[in-house]
């Protein structure tokens, strides 16, 4: 029992003295859903949100970075007689491990970790700009992401990441052996306060 209390006190005191920083970020998404349509194309959208950077250990190199992002995703279905944009908007929660390549203030870094997405809006815009609700997509999207970035003075950060979804984005797939997985290229600029 004493060891447990001592461990809890040590964890709380470490967290309370940790130099947690907060920031905001925004950028471009290029998204697609794998295998959903034969003529599937990418949807261009944006993302915006915030993050916290929590140090791991005593050095200035390893961090845990949870984020909360609004993200425009989806795909296009373009063919001879069809031109539709599937507009899927999510609240995404990435939980990232963020190692800098050194302890320098201006440095490259990597990111890796899981992401959970919550669908908040789904619409289809057709060739005559009619917008209708499709109600075809699952409300939860789970995936993993990997990326690299460059930090200038640990204040401005420029980042590229790729997300691959593990869950089927569609409630009932048209072709049963296909998994309609999210694919997202993500370019962003962030600022740490």
Residue 3 inside a domain? The answer is: no
pLDDT at residue number 78: 74
pLDDT at residue number 57: 83
Residue 10 inside a domain? The answer is: no
pLDDT at residue number 76: 85
| CA dihedral for 86, 87, 88, 92, sign (positive or negative) | positive
Residue 6 inside a domain? The answer is: no
Which run of H or of E encompasses 9? Answer: helix 2-17
Residue 9 inside a domain? The answer is: no
Residue 11 inside a domain? The answer is: no
The domain that holds 170 is classified in CATH as 2.40.160.20
| pLDDT tens digits, 2-60 | 666 566 555 555 554 568 999 999 999 999 886 665 667 888 999 999 999 999 988 88
Question: In the predicted model, is pLDDT for residue 105 greater than 80?
Answer: yes
- β-strand partners of 144: 114, 164
- Distance, CA of 91 to CA of 87 (rounded, Å): 14
Residue 59 inside a domain? The answer is: yes
- Distance, CA of 132 to CA of 88 (rounded, Å): 12
pLDDT at residue number 107: 94
Residue 64 inside a domain? The answer is: yes
pLDDT at residue number 83: 77
Residue 12 inside a domain? The answer is: no
151: domain range?
Answer: 20-192
| pLDDT tens digits, 54-94 | 999 888 899 999 999 999 998 888 767 777 888 899 999 99
Instruction: Tell me how many domains the chain contains.
Output: 1
């Amino acid at each position: 029992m004493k060891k447990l209390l001592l461990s809890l006190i040590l964890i709380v005191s470490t967290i309370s003295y940790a130099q947690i920083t907060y920031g905001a970020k925004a950028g471009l998404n290029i998204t697609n859903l794998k295998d959903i349509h034969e003529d599937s194309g990418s949807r261009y959208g944006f993302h915006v949100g915030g993050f916290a950077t929590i140090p791991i250990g005593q050095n200035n190199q390893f961090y845990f970075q949870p984020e909360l992002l609004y993200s425009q995703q989806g795909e296009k279905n373009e063919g001879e007689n069809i031109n539709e944009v599937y507009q899927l908007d999510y609240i995404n929660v990435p939980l990232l491990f963020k190692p800098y390549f050194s302890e320098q203030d201006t440095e490259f870094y990597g990111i890796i970790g899981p992401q959970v997405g919550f669908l908040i809006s789904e619409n289809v815009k057709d060739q005559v700009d009619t917008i209708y609700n499709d109600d075809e997509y699952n409300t939860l999207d789970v995936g993993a992401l990997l990326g690299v970035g460059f930090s200038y003075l640990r204040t401005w950060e420029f980042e590229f990441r790729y997300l691959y979804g593990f869950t089927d984005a569609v409630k009932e797939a048209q072709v049963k052996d296909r998994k309609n997985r999210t694919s997202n290229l993500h370019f962003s600029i962030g600022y740490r306060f």
